[in-house]
Structure 1
Amino acid sequence: MLRNSLELLFLWITTKCITLHMKIYRLFVFIFLLVPCFLGAQSKEILFTIDAHPYYTDEFIRVYNKNLDLVKDDSQKDLDAYLELFLGYKLKVAKAYKMGLQNASAYQSELKSYRNQLSKNYLNDSKVTNELIEEAYERMTKEVKASHILILVDEGASPEDTLKAFQKIKDIKNRLDAGEDFVKVARQFSEDPSVKENNGDLGYFSAFRMVYPFENAAFTTNIGSVSNPFRSRFGYHLVKVIDKRVNRGEVTVSHIMVAKSQNSDTELDNKSRQRIEEIYQKINQGEVFESLAQQFSEDKASAPKGGLLQRFGSGQLSSEVFENVAFSLENPGAVSKPFETSFGWHVVKLIEKHPVPSLKEIKSELEEKIRKDERSLLITNSLAKKVREKYLHTKDVKLIVKIKSVVNDEFYTQTWVVPEKAEALEGTILTINKDRKVAARLFLDFIASKQKSNSKIKPVAKLVDALFEKFTDEQLIAYYNDHLEDEFSEFKYVMDEYRDGLLLFDLMEKEIWNRAKNDTVGLKEYFHENSKLYQWKKRYDVDILSSTDLKIIEKAQKFLKKGKSLAYIKEQLNEEGKINIMSKSGMYEEDYDVLPQFNNLSKGVTAVASKGGYYFVVNVKDEKPAETKELEECKGKVISDYQQFLEDNWINELKKEFTIKVNRDVFENAKRQLQSK
């Protein structure tokens, strides 16, 4: 258990098979774990050395404190065991550096990508951020129902293509203003692929559900009106606002689902509908919704939890029908009638309704969403103003004048090229804080890259001045970004851990994980040597019948003893539209569900047993003894265990490879400091 708790810290060590996408996901999980729990000023002493490289108490104390909330048991907080694990962690890092993994281009690229992600949390302006938070919260209290028309155009499209798209959307707006039907026009002209299915109708949505320009148009346009054309990164839009209402908040429900056939089989679909009706009748007869969900729901994700779904709001599910039924239930415990969606037939039970929280309750959540949203551009623009005031910066006016002489009207036709040989244009055009000198060549390249921006600033001299101001903003923000480690100690801590974590991932993949997956001989040997860990319990091939009525289950027992089929038993006992008995069949281990209620299971029909308000009888058709699993039946678990086995042995080898010296007096002082908290 102790190992598992600390492995939450060393997130990269525990990750066995991971794609780049999942690595980025874990990056944000790791950021979440690094909430501001950093201690105040710490005495910094050498805790231990690995080949004379020092590791300090401040890092060990910070790491330990950061993880206190993650462990549940006091035994998992043993500092001596933490020291061993922390030492093992640093040994692996040392090995990675010794192998030169830090020089790999893929590692450097990923580290840069992670830093770019993390730095976004620090490129902030509190005043602008607070204004955006207030705007977002005001919008969160409402929901807008809207339809739209889209004319596609890339962000970097040529002026001609951009103008063409704008003219299209403008012509469409004129047709609508002239009284043409929005739906007909949308079906005819909209370039949104989903228009054929939804006629442009986007349903109800609240803040953060659409890109920011779209959200702005939807929330500022009156009901029944069509917005003026506006642009997003997808192209030009028109939005018609159909309705606005108070946000319904979120809802928690449980459901039971019987799936539809995948090939539109009418007979099977009728059986599905009949089955959901039977389940609904049993609910009305007083049977427990959650128990029925566990037994009969075909939603494999929610069935084990009694049908419980994660809370959701409008527009967050792929079925508006399901959402509307869920929100229509008034009181906790209320159950809907059976209804159909594109996935199957459902009954829904209301667990709880969650109104929109207060601004105070969700302020930090809104701020995080804003940082990941297009609104963050407003914050960046504000930051540019601040860094101009923060850092001393000077420009070479004479060099700018020379650059103006080589930029011409070809810029407006996107045909201007940076002069290949122009010694007069070489030199430093911008100096920041005296320690960063920005070459004129970078500004020339910047000018060339902005040709597709379709800037119409004229004459060219004025254009160059405007571009230089943007260039200066970019360079100042880049300078600020590059010095975040100096500005924020917590940023430095996180980056140090990312740096080590990425190295550990590559190291573990090379030394342990790939070996465990590819070493088939070693894996088989490990499996055979530890076969007692991979055992089937005794298993039974059974029909399990259940009912809330003891007399019904006794009748079912008699039928089973006479050899009657399940279909026959249901036909006899489910009378007059009342579902009295249900069944399930399969091969199960002896401790499955209700089976432990029966003593000495053997072939044939059992006695009646009860559990959780239900009566059960079981027909045991076959039994299999406890036996060792085949490797293929448990290969994933065996690989995982083999990886841990290899890692434990490898750590022992690393301790022999490196010279380790632990300062025990310093460690005891650190222990006293931590234990006094």
Structure 2
Amino acid sequence: MKIDKIILGFALIVSSLTFAQNEKKEILFTINDKPYYTDEFSRVYNKNIDLVKDESQKDLNQYLELFLGYKLKINKANQLGLQNNPKYINELKSYRTQLSKNYTSDVKVTKALIEEGYNRSQKEIRASHILIMVDENAAPEDTLKAYNRALDIRKKAMSGQKFEDLAVQFSEDPSAKENKGDLGYFSAFRMVYAFESAAFKAKKGETTMPTRTRFGYHLINIVDTRDNRGEITVSHIMILKPTSADKTEVDKAKTTIQDVYSKIKQGENFESLANQFSQDKNSSQKGGLLPRFASGQLSSEEFENTAFGLTTPNTYSEPFESQFGWHIVKLIEKHPIKKLEEMERELDAKIRKYDRSRLLTNSLTAKIRTKYAAKRDEKLYEKIKSLVTDKFYTVTWKQPEDIKEFEGNLMTIEDYGVKATLFLSELESQQKSKIKIKPIGKVVDYIYKNFEDAQLNNFYNDNLEKEFPDFANVIEEYRDGLLLFDLMEKEIWEKAKLDTLGLKNYYNTNINKYQWKKRAEVLIASSTKEDIVSKARKLLKKNKEVDFIKESLNTKDVVNVMIKKEMLEEGAENFPKNVVMKPGVSETYKEADFYFVNSVIKLIPASAKTLEETKGRVINDYQQYLEDNWVGDLKKEFKVTVNQEVFERLKTTMKK
């Protein structure tokens, strides 16, 4: 299938998002009384015209035929039910979900978060923290109690007590007993967003006010700030610390790492030594290579600092000790922070993936609430509230078995109704969240608020095609493109491959299209040395075999001449200009840095190609033949009416 013939199949997928929305819309043609309009035709033509290589298809009359044929195929695909194929449905749904992201987030908020994340990624902060745990959905009194406790601890820190001592004494982070609250260095996207924001807004030496995250309240003490060191790739050799504190075993381990270090200094291969001696089984088989990492990603600060301290690739450290054992590190590559434009996609993906996405969702929801009015049936809502008891807190509450009276709409958004039964199911499901808000009526209000937000967002998403004509165009064109592909595969491409009799008949009928021109079987000898080619020429004139020539002119260590045999067709693109179509040996000649000589061994007269020799081209032509005839059959199968008067007006407008 020639690409210019199916240009409407997939070039249509990419829609012009800047077409004139106020263009006058008239019916250009109908297929079985279904109308197709002038605005779509002109938009698609203008979008795809630069992609079309066949000048005839730029003619509006010709393009109308192409466009009409395209729409006939889509009608046929729908008639065959290809739109119900689960694979097609899933692929279209996946594409729509991906495309909708451009319409379901606040562009300004997204841009601000990208810039904020990038600016923060330029720095690394070392911080310690104290955590007072409180459930994300805790009752207000419990939340206040945790906040006041964190505030009291902060007062102790502000009065001069050491933060690390307070962390050991009060922090409910299980690791605080060992690390005294020290989190090491981190940059953007390494901590939950609220924690990160508080840390980056604070100054060195400052202890923040209690900061709420889903884990509870944090006091954050800023120990140090520095420029981001980027990421690094290293290899290492590690000798593990003995499980016992036996001095003999410890000395043996130290001796081993020193011996390996001596071998490296003597010039032995680092990777081979890592493979033999490193006791890090995850990396030893890879020559000690570790995945690239940034500050704070490893459990050993000593290891990170030593690695980042290396400046030149392929240099290595002296042996050093970490809490895990003894290491020698070799620098492979340093990866500095990229420019903003290089990181935009990566940052956008992180924003949508992590808890920053709530900001995007909240921003969009606020806009949707101003656009659509969600009206609630208050009587029905109060009836539901009266059903929910304190069993909710113990995850034992169940919605009523008889739900007939709840089958009405609890909420309406524009002309769309949301059933009360859906909210009842949401209430039952939300018990697992163990929301601790009291009394129970406030729990229902809390869940309903989130439920309403979700329904508004769903409604907005489901109606993107109505709200944004450009979105609707892209989705429709992608949908049609997928259908066309499935249809062509089913009706044309596979049929052309499998219909061996039809293919053979087409080949026989059109055999004049598949002809060899005059051909020659040629030996081509080449070398960078003119005297070698001259010697090869003499041997060729004596009709010596190729192997004999190679053995005569090449040595065990040096290949002086290369000889290849080719079948060359007269007039072909790869036909050498110095080959003459008659038997014999040419003069030596030079092209670029090489000398050549040709020997025409045999001439083959012009003849028809066999089907096997040209099968790929025959299949392609046969597919096109089937398609061209198929479109004619479709015109007979479907009722097609073209409004010529409208088309003439459209042509006049488009030619201006």
Give TM-score, length-normalised by structure 1: 0.59
Q: Deviations over 1:51-97 (max 9, x none)?
A: 33322211111111111332467654211111111111122233334
The 3-state SS of whatever aligns with 1:10 is helix
Q: 2:477 corresponds to which residue? A: 497
Q: Deviations over 1:598-622 (max 9, x none)?
A: 10254x6543233344321235566
Say which of 21, 26, 32 aligns to 1:45: 26
Q: 1:436 corresponds to which residue? A: 416
Say which of 68, 80, 95 aligns to 2:61: 80
Q: 2:503 corresponds to which residue? A: 523
Cα distance in 2 for partners of 1:372, 1:616 equals: 61
Cα distance in 1 for partners of 2:282, 2:400 equals: 44
Q: 2:164 corresponds to which residue? A: none
Q: Deviations over 1:104-162 (max 9, x none)?
A: 5655554444333322221121122112432566599999xxxxxxxxxxxxxxxxxxx
Contact 2:537 2:597 survives alignment (8 Å): yes
Larger radius of gyration: 2
Q: 2:208 corresponds to which residue? A: none
Contact 1:609 1:615 survives alignment (8 Å): yes
Contact 2:83 2:483 survives alignment (8 Å): yes
Q: Which amino acid aligns with 1:56?
A: Y
The correspondence of residues 264-413 of structure 1 with structure 2, limited to 5 A, is 359=341, 379-395=360-376, 396=378, 397-402=381-386, 404-405=388-389, 408-409=392-393, 411=395
What is the CA distance between 1:523 and its match in structure 2? 1.8
Change (3 A) 1:116 1:631: same
Contact 2:117 2:347 survives alignment (8 Å): no
Q: 1:55 corresponds to which residue? A: 36
Contact 1:51 1:659 survives alignment (8 Å): yes
Q: Which amino acid aligns with 1:527?
A: Y
Q: 2:7 corresponds to which residue? A: 8
Say which of 555, 558, 562 aligns to 1:583: 562
Cα distance in 2 for partners of 1:584, 1:541 equals: 13
Change (3 A) 1:568 1:110: closer
Contact 1:539 1:624 survives alignment (8 Å): yes
Q: Which runs of 5+ in 1 are unaligned?
A: 12-28, 144-166, 205-217, 228-237, 249-320, 328-354
Cα distance in 2 for partners of 1:419, 1:648 equals: 63
Contact 1:51 1:660 survives alignment (8 Å): yes
What is the CA distance between 1:442 and its match in structure 2? 2.1
Q: 2:249 corresponds to which residue? A: none
Cα distance in 1 for partners of 2:67, 2:309 equals: 55
The 3-state SS of whatever aligns with 2:453 is helix
Cα distance in 1 for partners of 2:515, 2:178 equals: 70
Tell me the matched-pair count.
Answer: 493
Say which of 198, 201, 204 aligns to 2:290: 201
Change (3 A) 1:422 1:664: closer
The correspondence of residues 511-590 of structure 1 with structure 2, limited to 5 A, is 511-536=491-516, 543-561=523-541, 563=544, 565=546, 569=550, 572=553, 581-583=560-562, 585-590=564-569
Q: Which runs of 5+ in 2 are unaligned?
A: 125-171, 185-235, 244-279, 314-329
Q: Which amino acid aligns with 1:589?
A: L
Say which of 410, 414, 425 aligns to 1:445: 425
Cα distance in 2 for partners of 1:594, 1:506 equals: 40
Contact 2:368 2:456 survives alignment (8 Å): yes
Contact 2:12 2:44 survives alignment (8 Å): no
**1:92 maps to 2:73:** yes
Cα distance in 1 for partners of 2:520, 2:505 equals: 30
Q: 2:195 corresponds to which residue? A: none
Q: Which amino acid aligns with 1:502?
A: L
What is the CA distance between 1:519 and its match in structure 2? 2.1
Q: 1:672 corresponds to which residue? A: 652
The correspondence of residues 88-237 of structure 1 with structure 2, limited to 5 A, is 88-102=69-83, 107-135=88-116, 197=286, 201-203=290-292, 218=294, 221=295
Contact 2:519 2:603 survives alignment (8 Å): yes
The 3-state SS of whatever aligns with 1:515 is helix
Cα distance in 2 for partners of 1:479, 1:632 equals: 57
**1:70 maps to 2:51:** yes
Identity %: 42
Q: 1:231 corresponds to which residue? A: none
Q: 2:152 corresponds to which residue? A: none
Cα distance in 2 for partners of 1:202, 1:42 equals: 56
Q: Deviations over 1:452-500 (max 9, x none)?
A: 7x66656694665544343333211111011112211101212222333
Q: Deviations over 1:638-657 (max 9, x none)?
A: 32222211110111122223
Q: Deviations over 1:294-321 (max 9, x none)?
A: xxxxxxxxxxxxxxxxxxxxxxxxxxx9
Q: Which amino acid aligns with 1:552?
A: I
Change (3 A) 1:225 1:407: same
The correspondence of residues 456-467 of structure 1 with structure 2, limited to 5 A, is 457=436, 461=440, 465-467=445-447
What is the CA distance between 1:635 and its match in structure 2? 3.5
Contact 1:50 1:658 survives alignment (8 Å): yes
Q: Which amino acid aligns with 2:9?
A: F
What is the CA distance between 1:675 and its match in structure 2? 1.4
Q: Deviations over 1:265-308 (max 9, x none)?
A: xxxxxxxxxxxxxxxxxxxxxxxxxxxxxxxxxxxxxxxxxxxx
Q: Tell me how large the CA RMSD over aligned residues is.
A: 5.1
Change (3 A) 1:510 1:182: same
Change (3 A) 1:242 1:538: farther
What is the CA distance between 1:5 and its match in structure 2? 4.1
Q: 1:476 corresponds to which residue? A: 456
Q: 1:258 corresponds to which residue? A: none
Contact 2:385 2:444 survives alignment (8 Å): no
Change (3 A) 1:370 1:626: farther
The 3-state SS of whatever aligns with 2:25 is coil
Cα distance in 1 for partners of 2:237, 2:6 equals: 57
Contact 2:83 2:89 survives alignment (8 Å): yes
Contact 1:542 1:620 survives alignment (8 Å): yes
